[in-house]
């Protein structure tokens, strides 16, 4: 258990992501000082790797969702019990297809003309085109 009285949010995913991002920022900074586009691009690439590693660790349960975790999960070496089902209002979980869905509602991606069984008219097809 941690010594603080509130949830700092320190997690394995956060610390690993921060470490990799710090290396990327250092490489990009060195590239700016050395006027090297290759080093700057390498630093940016390391930053992208940092995002992907942090996301993967979050999805594996080594991160945390938004809000305060249960007190027994405040330690940074404790896995997140809610990760397999996804967190409410968590962008990383939604991007991975794990976000919670409201019961009984599914997205209807069909066009209104397809839903009603009507055929689209030729006038409607070209109505918004620029000539």
| pTM assigned to the model | 0.66
Residue 128 in domain: no
Distance, CA of 94 to CA of 110 (rounded, Å)? 22
Does 74 or 6 have the greater pLDDT score?
A: 74
Report the half-sphere exposure of 96 (CA within 13 A, side-chain side): 20
- Dihedral of alpha carbons 99, 100, 106, 108, sign: negative
> Could you give the number of structural domains in the chain?
1
Cα 110 to Cα 43, 97, 114, 131, distances in angstroms: 43, 20, 6, 28
Domain contains 46: yes
| 107 lies in some domain | no
Q: What is the pLDDT of residues 28-45, one digit of tens each?
A: 999 999 999 999 999 999
Maximum average pLDDT range among 55-59, 64-68, 114-118, 121-125: 55-59
Q: Which residues of 78-95 are buried (b: 16+ CB within 10 A; e: fewer)?
A: bebebbeebbeebebbee
The answer as to whether 106 is a domain residue is no
Residue 123 placed within a domain: no
- 105: in domain: no
User: Residue 52: which domain range?
Assistant: 7-78+88-99
Cβ of 58: how many Cβ atoms within 10 Å? 24
- For the chain, how far is it from start to end, CA to CA, in angstroms? 68
What 3 state SS string does 9-20 have? CCCHHHHHHHHH
Residue 51 inside a domain? The answer is yes
Interval 83-126: pLDDT, tens: 888 887 788 888 888 765 554 444 444 444 444 555 555 454 44
In a domain, 2, yes or no: no
């Amino acid at each position: 258990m941690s010594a603080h009285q509130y949830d700092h949010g320190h997690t394995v995913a956060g610390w690993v992501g921060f470490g990799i991002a710090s290396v990327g920022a250092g490489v990009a900074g060195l590239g700016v000082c050395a006027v090297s586009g290759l080093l700057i691009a390498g630093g940016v690439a390391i930053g992208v790797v940092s995002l992907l590693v942090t996301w993967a660790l979050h999805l594996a349960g080594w991160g945390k969702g938004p809000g305060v975790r249960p007190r027994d999960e405040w330690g940074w070496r404790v896995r997140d019990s809610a990760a397999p089902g996804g967190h409410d209002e968590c962008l990383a979980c939604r991007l991975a297809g794990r976000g919670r869905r409201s019961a009984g509602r599914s997205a209807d991606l069909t066009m209104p003309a397809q839903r009603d069984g009507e055929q689209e008219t030729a006038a409607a097809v070209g109505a918004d085109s620029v000539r």
